[in-house]
Chain A
């Protein structure tokens, strides 16, 4: 497959974040074209044709999502760029906003034109404060050139953009929790339906997309939806930014076409497993995606369909690579601790379940596991799955039970270690082990 640089085309240019460089390299031409030659409906049609699917996690068709916004609503409409990027393993939006903030801004303006929104927000995680400032500066540059604000390029269309900081809560990346947070409340997810396209921010129709999704829109408008779709697979159009981390020789953020071989990415683009070791496992779409074995990686391609067939998901495009020395139980423990910490506490299976799983894992890792603990952990995860108010609970379960199915020995070895230490333990330490009952 041909490697074209669409999203990362400007990444290596000096001062790529400035409007001068952006304009010199075709920037804001798509906005010009849309405002001068295209109706909002035509913009949506082009995005539909591109087979662009959301880069934030769920992979929903972007054009389809935009078409759900009611045209006859008397309420104001909003566009939100989701820049909360907190899924473990994911650091691609950060690079995109740092290197090419104007691509995000132009994508937001095109989305706003398509659904006729006059105010847009970039909700960015608070830890990315330097990027908040960079985006605000870029918005002012764009305003000075007539791309943002009232009557953009004399078209009669107006749109402003506010950069809004999050304050350290993973759950606020979930679209409805994000809206609650943007309304100045705790980030508790809302019940869906209604979906944000109909009832979103302030109860008004709202389009919410990941920043990378939005940054893909200007090249689609400029070069056509068919061009973009053909870069990837039939159902997963275009290229995508993959954040590769863990035990590869060259971790980094790589732009690759959808449908590219995962094995080739690891071996060629990332220089293989570091230290000449063998591959053990990959978590393919951020911590929420079920883990893959080395054999599964052999047949995996980087597109939504392939990961679905492997009962995992491409999620946020974060590829976490683990070598043969990795202890999967330790990895699962880190991830479970994360979900426990980030559970918003709204519903019981997630709030209590993640805590219980973390405690079980701690007991195992301390070498104090009981023979049935691995089964208990497995059952617990199965029972969390599908019973929670939002997908965070499912994600926590998905991090655990497929890992036990595929790497059971990594968990069992702690039980065996415990069995040995139990027999060696004096029986008259009153309650010593009882204290740790979960």
Chain B
């Protein structure tokens, strides 16, 4: 299910920790990077590597918002809804994204290109309003900037 490279990376991660189970979150990130999400089969495999049960892994996965149990769009747009962004016009950015993409937060465009999420504070408060697309930060957003950013994505 995983490439040899990913498996090797996972073994390296596990070897670093004094207690195997500690490797769980970083290992899940490697799996998610490779597959785009975390299907049941992957959780079974992770459980085997770390001497855990499927349930051990599943309860952890469901606790953290950055793990996805279903495929999401190629670009995950995460727009901040918390107080500093709100004060600087974050709502207008979210509404603009909804209009441009034709989807609401939590939805994915039919072509699988974009998933839109509203998220809590991403640590960009002094440069609000802000969003992340996958792991990249975008600051000082305006509707025009958002259009430019979307157009620049490969």
List residues of chain A with CB under 8 Å of any chain B CB: 76, 85-91, 93-94, 119, 125-130, 162, 164-170, 181-187, 202, 243-247, 251-253, 283, 287, 318, 320, 322, 326, 330-331, 334-335, 337-338, 341-342, 344
Contacts and interface: CB of A to CB of B under 8 A. Distances in A.
Nearest to B137: A130
A116 B24 CA distance: 27
A180 B133 CA distance: 29
B95 to A, nearest CB: 15
B22 A182 contact: yes
Contacts of B16: 162
A283 B84 CA distance: 10
B19 interface: yes
Contacts of B66: 126-127, 167-168
A320 B22 contact: no
16 contacts: A76-B18, A88-B120, A93-B123, A119-B18, A126-B66, A127-B66, A130-B135, A167-B25, A184-B19, A243-B126, A245-B88, A245-B126, A247-B88, A251-B128, A335-B82, A344-B63
Contacts of B22: 164, 182-184
Contacts of B65: 167-169
Nearest to A274: B88
Contacts of A341: 120
Given A166-B25, A184-B23, A91 B126 contact: yes
B150 interface: no
Given A165-B25, A186-B59, A334-B83, A245 B135 contact: no
Interface in B1-51: 16-19, 21-26, 28-29, 50
Q: Which 8 A-B pairs have the closest CB atoms?
A: A184-B24, A167-B64, A168-B65, A184-B21, A168-B66, A245-B84, A245-B125, A88-B121
Nearest to A121: B22
A318 B125 contact: yes
A250 to B, nearest CB: 9
A243 B19 CA distance: 36
A320 B84 contact: yes
A144 B122 CA distance: 33
Nearest to B135: A129
A202 B18 contact: yes
B67 A167 contact: yes
Contacts of A326: 87
Given A86-B121, A90-B121, A181-B25, A335 B63 contact: no
Contacts of B24: 184
Given A169-B65, A341-B120, A246 B84 contact: yes
B136 to A, nearest CB: 8
B143 to A, nearest CB: 19
B120 A338 contact: yes
B82 A334 contact: yes
Interface residues of B, number: 39
B120 A170 contact: yes
Nearest to B66: A168
B21 A338 contact: no
Contact of A127 (B17, B52, B123, B126): B123
B132 interface: yes
Given A167-B65, A202-B19, A334-B81, A86 B25 contact: no
Contacts of B64: 126, 166-169, 187
A181 B22 CA distance: 8
A125 B82 contact: no
A335 B85 CA distance: 12
A166 B65 CA distance: 10
B63 A186 contact: yes
With a 10 A CB-CB cut-off, give which of A88, A125, A185, A338 has the most chain B CB atoms: A88
A184 B67 CA distance: 14
B44 to A, nearest CB: 16
A89 B124 contact: no
A88 B82 contact: yes
Given A164-B25, A186-B60, A186-B63, A320 B126 contact: no
A341 to B, nearest CB: 6
A246 B60 contact: no
A119 B22 CA distance: 14
Nearest to A131: B123
Given A89-B125, A202-B19, A318-B125, A184 B87 contact: no
A127 B132 contact: yes
B72 to A, nearest CB: 14
B87 A331 contact: yes
